[in-house]
Every structure is written in C-alpha cells, then in structure tokens.
C-alpha cells in the first residue's frame, strides 16, 4: 500500500531563493490538497486540485506561491523569493473525492535563513 | 468563518486511564469531521472520519462522537498506552466553499508509563 509521498523531507534555503516541493498522492485519488503548518498550530489549507484543475486557493497563498498538477498525478508547490515567514511544514494530502477521508504525507519542513 | 477549538491544549495521564479529548466548531454546516494523530515532526495519520449524518465511529480503542447541532465532537481513548503519546488534531470539512479542512490547534497528549 503506497501512501502519499513528499520530496524533499527537509529543505534549508536562504531568504530570496526559490524552492519547489513535490507531492505524489495515492494513485487512485483524484483530489490533492496542500496545507501549511507552523509550530504549535494546526495545518492551514492552501489550495486543492480535482485532477489537474486547481479549484480553490486560500488567501494565505500569496502571489509568490504557485501550485501545479500537470497531468492530474503528482503536484508541485513553488515558493518564489522566500521569506523567513515561509518557514513551516508543508503538508500534502489526497482523497478519492469531495467529502472523503484525506490522507496526509510526511510533509516537507522548510527553513528559510 | 469556521473556527475549531480543542480542549485541553495539553494532557498528561498515567498509563491505563481512559480519557476524552474535546473538539468544538462554530458553524454546524459541515460535511464531516476527521480526527488525526501527529507524532513530533511527522505528518498526520487519520484516525476516524465521521460523516455529518453519523453520531459516532469506532476503531479499536478509539471512539469518536459527533453532535453537529451543538458543534461538538469527542475522541475517547480507552486503556491508554505510552504509544498513544502524540498530538491529536480535529478537523472539519465545511459545507460549501473550498474542500479544505479547517483544523484545531490540537491536544498534546502524554501517557506516562
């Protein structure tokens, strides 16, 4: 049973650099979600995809953030011109569809120095 | 705007005790509620999903209840074990709008051996 995978698991970058994260969902899942979690807080929703279509973006997703899911399989989340406030755990989840259980990956921990 | 609150924020109990974690949400218009477990520095593991039409769900030593009209859910853990030590997160999927989950901040649980 292959769960949700994320790569890399850890990323340290300098302020102003661009970073890209990858998420591979469970293979038969058509919905894919991105969340961000800071220390001591619950995850916050960023955006989600139904197949390759990006259906919703949270107001947390500033212009420096972009997400893609080109063939409805894996997804990438890019952060341009990183800021120290971007330091967080970025979590990806997938589900069969609307209202179904969401399964999370191990996350990518980003540290911006 | 949907808000989710979890009480207590932290809990430490001796092994073997039965315990209850509480979750409340401000808007009763939800599709479902999901309980997760998160170990330090790791992703989320789904424990139970309760649809809005259901009153409770059980999995092993875990039992979750949902009272949608009063905006409350409880997670009951029977015969607690040191391996249950983790942060427990409650999340609701609101009706309408984005498909993303709204999370509480979690209850940090320590089971003393």
pLDDT digits (tens, 9 = 90+) for A22-78: 999 999 899 999 999 999 999 999 999 999 999 988 888 889 999 999 988 999 999
Q: Which residues of A touch B98 (CB under 8 A)?
A: 45, 48, 55-56, 58
β-strand partners of B65: B56, B74
Mean confidence (pLDDT) of chain B? 95
Q: What is the largest CA-CA distance in chain B?
A: 44
3-state secondary structure of B84: helix
- pLDDT reported for residue A75: 98
Of A32-41, B64-73, B94-103, minimum mean pLDDT range:
B94-103
CB contact under 8 A, B43 and A107: yes
- Partners of A6 on chain B (C-beta within 8 Å) are 43
Q: Is the pLDDT reported for residue B97 higher than 70?
A: no
Q: Tokens 């424990």 correspond to what residue?
A: B47
Confidence of residue B76 (pLDDT cuts 50, 70, 90): very high
For residues A4 and A92, is the Cβ–Cβ distance under 8 A? yes
Question: Over 70: is that where the pLDDT of A86 sits?
Answer: yes
pLDDT confidence of residue B96: 74
Tally A–B CB contacts below 8 A.
67
Phi, psi of A84 (to 5 degrees): -60, -30
The whole-angstrom separation of Cα B31 and Cα B51 is 6
Mean of the pLDDT values across residues A81-88?
Answer: 97
Q: Of A102, A108, A110, A111, which to mutate for an interface test with B (greatest number of B Cβ within 10 Å)?
A: A102
- Residues of chain A with C-beta less than 8 angstroms from the C-beta of B43: 4, 6, 91, 104-107
Kindly indicate the confidence band of residue A3, based on its pLDDT and cuts at 50, 70 and 90: very high
Quick one: average pLDDT of B17-24? Answer: 97
pLDDT band at A99 (very low <50, low <70, confident <90, very high): confident
Pick the residue with more confidence: A105 or B1?
A105
> Which of A92-101, B9-18, B67-76 comes out lowest in average pLDDT?
A92-101
Q: How many whole angstroms separate alpha carbon B25 and alpha carbon B28?
A: 7
* Contact indicator for A27, A94 with CB cutoff of 8 Å: no
Map tokens 């953030």 to a residue.
A65
Residue B95 has pLDDT above 90, yes or no: no
State the DSSP code for A86.
G
Per-residue pLDDT, A2:
78
B42 touches chain A (CB under 8 A): yes
Distances (CA, A) of B56 to B5, B65, B74: 19, 4, 9
- Residue A1, pLDDT > 60, answer no
**Residue A72 pLDDT:** 86
End-to-end Cα spacing for chain B: 41
Q: How many helices (H) does chain B have, and how many strands (E)?
A: 0, 11
Q: How far apart are CA B47 and CA B57, in angstroms?
A: 10
What's the CA gap between B22 and B70, in Å, rounded?
A: 13
CB–CB contact B41 A109 (8 Å): yes
């Amino acid at each position: 049973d292959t769960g949700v995978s994320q790569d890399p698991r850890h990323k340290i970058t300098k302020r102003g650099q661009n970073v890209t994260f990858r998420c591979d969902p469970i293979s038969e899942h058509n919905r894919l979600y991105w969340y961000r979690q800071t220390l001591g807080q619950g995850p916050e929703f960023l955006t989600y995809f139904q197949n390759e279509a990006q259906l919703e973006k949270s107001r947390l997703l500033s212009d420096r953030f972009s997400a893609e899911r080109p063939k409805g399989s894996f997804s990438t989340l890019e952060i341009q011109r990183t800021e120290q406030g971007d330091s967080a755990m970025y979590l990806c989840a997938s589900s069969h569809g609307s209202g179904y259980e969401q399964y999370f990956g191990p996350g990518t921990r980003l540290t911006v120095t | 705007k949907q808000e989710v609150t979890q009480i207590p924020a932290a809990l430490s109990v001796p092994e073997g005790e039965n315990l209850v974690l509480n979750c409340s949400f401000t808007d009763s218009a939800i599709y479902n509620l999901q309980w997760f477990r998160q170990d330090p520095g790791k992703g989320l593991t789904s424990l139970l999903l309760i649809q809005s039409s259901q009153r409770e769900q059980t999995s092993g030593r875990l039992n979750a209840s949902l009272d949608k009209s009063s905006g409350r859910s409880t997670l009951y853990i029977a015969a607690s074990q040191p391996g249950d030590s983790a942060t427990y997160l409650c999340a609701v999927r609101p009706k309408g709008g984005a498909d993303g989950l709204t999370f509480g901040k979690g209850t940090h649980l320590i089971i003393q051996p």
